[in-house]
Amino acid sequence: MDPEQLTTLLMNVASTSRLAVELFLQLQNESESESDSESEESDDDIESPHCEDSTLLVAVTDVLSSVDRRVWARETSTQWWDQIVLQSWDDEQWLQNFRMRKATFMALCAELAPTLRRRDTRLRAALPVEKRVAIAIWKLATPDCFRSVANQFGVGKSTVGMVLMQVCTAINRTLLRRTVTLGNVQDIVDGFAEMGFPNCGGAIDGTHIPILSPPHLASEYVNRKGYFSVVLQALVDHRGRFTDIYSGWPGKVHDARIFRNSALFRRLRAGTFFPDRKITVGDVEMPTVILGDPAYPLMPWLMKPYTGKLDRSKDRFNYRLSRCRMTVECAFGRLKARWRCLYGKLDLGESSISAVISACCTLHNICEGKGERFSEEWTSEVRRLEDEFAQPESRANREAQERASRIRDALREQFDAESQQ
């Protein structure tokens, strides 16, 4: 037998023997005390038939309550996190591994602390907030499996999954609404105007996030490229920050259907998403618009490219629109390069996938807002995954409202006139 196992066995035997001896001595002392007191009691006192059982129960309870309780667990080490990462890593190491500098990480922990903090118990000490957030971000930023992350931080495999969802839920409840938001509309409009498109409030698109085969209705999640996915629909501003997100629809569903079922569509149609800010193009009144690809319907507040046979003016219009719409494609690229779990077939339940995607979008905006450097090396790291999980081609949507067509034609004519000046 291994010496360590033998030592553990002997300690357990010794602990059990000590417990038995203490119990025996306590019962003996109580028995002697009762014998002494019986001689002083009157003969007409009635003794309870369960007195001996009650005495035994009380004695056992008292002894057991005095014994230190310990939960069996495998031997793990937290030295890497406690003494190397927290104490020794510089900002470059933090950026490469956690996608943010230490100061940004600590500020994030402070925001989430009221929700994530747990109390110590008699059985074990609670994980610190900083370690909880680090475990979750490490899992989001790397393609490592749960077991690998657990070994890295010296915790159990199930703990990684539990902590991941706790942190993502906390991010969504605490930070999502004030981080993924429209912000200053005038700045956004001015930003897109500098890029060539007037009165534009954002660019919209969808991207497929690979997942494992769901246990129910799996065929609904197979996209046109043949792998299982869920769709993230996002609206971004001129800087590539998310201003509205909507995720969770199966990969088989067309972008236009997802859009029509989103709160963003309802608010745009009602005219409540953007402030009432209209301009005149030619002789046509134009509201603040968003830009989409051919998969979306042409609406007075949603411009998309011309399709079919193109003349020079239509091609010029498409170029300007595509130049601005590239912001959403770049945002998706940076999102997935930062949080590589989005390219690793998310091994989560259906209800948890959307929470993780939303948390990644929130963290993306935080990193962009804090000016965290984006390394081009991260993009090269995900190119292999991009080849494996190529984005399905969008199917064109022919739907177009007459007023929307007039606005698009007026813009086309204006762009054509500007090019001839």
Q: Is pLDDT above 90 for 383?
A: no
Q: How confident is the model at residue 48 (pLDDT cuts 50, 70, 90)?
A: very low
What's the confidence (pLDDT) of residue 12? Answer: 54
Distances from the Cα of 330 to the Cαs of 57, 208, 323, 373, 382, in angstroms? Answer: 70, 15, 11, 15, 14
Burial tier of 403 (Cβ tally within 10 Å: 0-12, 13-18, 19+): middle
**Residue range 62-74: mean pLDDT, rounded:** 49
Strands 200-210 and 229-236 come out as: antiparallel
Average pLDDT over residues 47-76: 50
Report the mean per-residue pLDDT for the chain.
85
**How many angstroms from the chain centroid is the CA of residue 352?**
9
Strand partners, 232: 207, 247
Which residue from 90, 30, 97 is spatially nearest to 57, judged by alpha carbons?
A: 30
Would you state the structure tokens that stand for residue 301, as one six-digit string? 């507040």
pLDDT at 47 over 50: no
Which structure tokens are listed for 19? 């417990």
Buried b (16+ CB within 10 A) or exposed e, 4-37: eeeeeeeeeeeeeeeeeeebeebbeeeeeeeeee
Q: How far apart are the first and last CA of the chain?
A: 91
CA angle 127, 133, 139 (to 5 degrees): 110
The answer to whether residue 9 scores a pLDDT higher than 70 is no
Name the pTM for this structure. 0.81
Of 114 and 54, the one with more pLDDT: 114
Looking only at the bridges linking them, the beta strands covering 242-250 and 302-303 are unpaired
To which residue do tokens 């259906």 refer? 350
Instruction: Give the residue extent of every domain in the chain.
Output: 79-174, 180-420
Q: Which of the 8 DSSP states describes residue 288?
A: -
Q: Check whether 126 has a pLDDT greater than 60.
A: yes
**What pLDDT digit, counting tens, does each position of 164-179 carry?**
999 999 999 999 999 9
Per DSSP, the chain holds a count of helices (H) and strands (E) of 17, 7
Specify the higher pLDDT residue, 144 or 242. 242
Radius of gyration over every alpha carbon of the chain, rounded to an integer in angstroms: 32
pLDDT beyond 60 at 60: no
Nearest CA among 138, 378, 349, 333 for reference residue 240: 333
- Give the tens place of pLDDT for each residue, 230-239: 999 999 999 9
> Is pLDDT larger for residue 377 or for residue 296?
296
Do residues 341 and 382 make contact, with C-beta atoms less than 8 angstroms apart?
Answer: no
- Range among 18-27, 195-204, 209-218 rated most confident: 195-204
Helix (H, G, I), strand (E, B) or coil at 133: helix
Highest mean pLDDT among 70-74, 78-82, 323-327: 323-327
